A and B are shown apart, each in its own frame.
Chain A
Amino acid sequence: MDYLIPVAIAVFSAVAAILALEARRMVYGAISLALFFAGLSLFFFYLDLPYLAVFQLIVYVGAIAVLIMFTVMIVGEKETKEGRLSLLLLGVLGFITIVGSFVFAIEYFSSLPVAQTAPSFNFIDLSKAVVSQYGLLLIVLACLLTASAYGAITLARREEVQK
């Protein structure tokens, strides 16, 4: 019973993830993906990482899910060649390989020395880490985001393709 809450969130998130990939209509898939992102945010709340949880909600549920929804609406519902047996088998094989290889590693993870007293979260630690410890990484990330926004706008504004 100790693990009731995380197991419930995991079941919710796993069902949402499977629906995102398998829903017949793409719009429902996009909504399921947003629910999956929200489930992950619940995980972060449960793990007592509130800043990460709110960040996940804002960026994923608020921005990326809506962006995906708009793209699905622009592109439409056309989906062909779905349900080919060879691809399905390949996907199931990948699933089984990952789960199977993890089964051998579970002993190792179970024996890891877990912290008995959970460290408490504070914003000072986080801001120190972001600004001083990973300051250079933050600048690189800012450049990356600017470049990707510029690239996305360039792609979207292109009028004619020269052959």
Chain B
Amino acid sequence: MNELAIFIIFSTLFLAIGVYGLLSKRNAIRILFAIEIIINAANLNIGAFARYMPYSLGSAQAIAIFVIGVAAAEAAIGLAIIIEAFRLRSKVELDEMKEMKG
């Protein structure tokens, strides 16, 4: 087994932990945690492929930096929505947010 496969195993493990959190939690903040874990697993994958595959190291790091930027925007918006939801109903359980249900 080469070293790339080891890193892919790690990133799959983190992805699986994130999916577990996404499916089993109903608190909005925990789900945001799970999404961040999944995005970081993807970034680890990009970093490992950049190191062990014969492509440009610069491009891969640029893509990883863009991913981090988008994740930062997502976290800012997500947390703002959570605070707004907390103001409206003083709890952040996703089960109880049904205003947009048709």
Contacts and interface: CB of A to CB of B under 8 A. Distances in A.
A92 interface: yes
The main secondary structure of chain A at its interface with chain B is helix
Given A49-B47, A129-B61, A149 B26 contact: no
A144 B15 CA distance: 25
A3 B2 CA distance: 10
Interface residues of A, number: 90
A109 B10 contact: no
B30 A151 contact: no
B18 A17 contact: yes
Contacts of A126: 57-58, 61-62
A55 to B, nearest CB: 6
Given A6-B10, A67-B79, A90 B66 contact: no
A113 B44 CA distance: 19
Contacts of B19: 91, 94-95, 97-98
Question: Main secondary structure on chain B at its contact with chain A?
Answer: helix
Given A64-B71, A114-B2, A129-B58, 19 more contacts: A21-B20, A29-B30, A51-B61, A64-B75, A74-B86, A80-B91, A91-B22, A91-B24, A126-B61, A127-B58, A129-B62, A134-B59, A134-B66, A144-B70, A145-B73, A149-B73, A151-B80, A153-B80, A156-B84
Nearest first, the 5 closest Cβ-Cβ pairs linking A and B are A91-B24, A125-B58, A148-B73, A129-B58, A152-B80
13 contacts: A7-B6, A55-B68, A67-B76, A74-B86, A75-B29, A95-B20, A102-B9, A112-B4, A119-B57, A126-B58, A129-B59, A134-B63, A158-B84
Interface of A: 2-3, 6-7, 10, 13-14, 17-18, 20-21, 26, 29-30, 33, 36-37, 40, 43-44, 47-49, 51-52, 55-56, 59-60, 63-64, 67-68, 71-72, 74-75, 78-82, 84, 87-88, 90-95, 97-99, 102, 106, 109-110, 112-115, 118-122, 124-130, 133-134, 137-138, 141, 144-145, 148-149, 151-153, 155-156, 158, 161
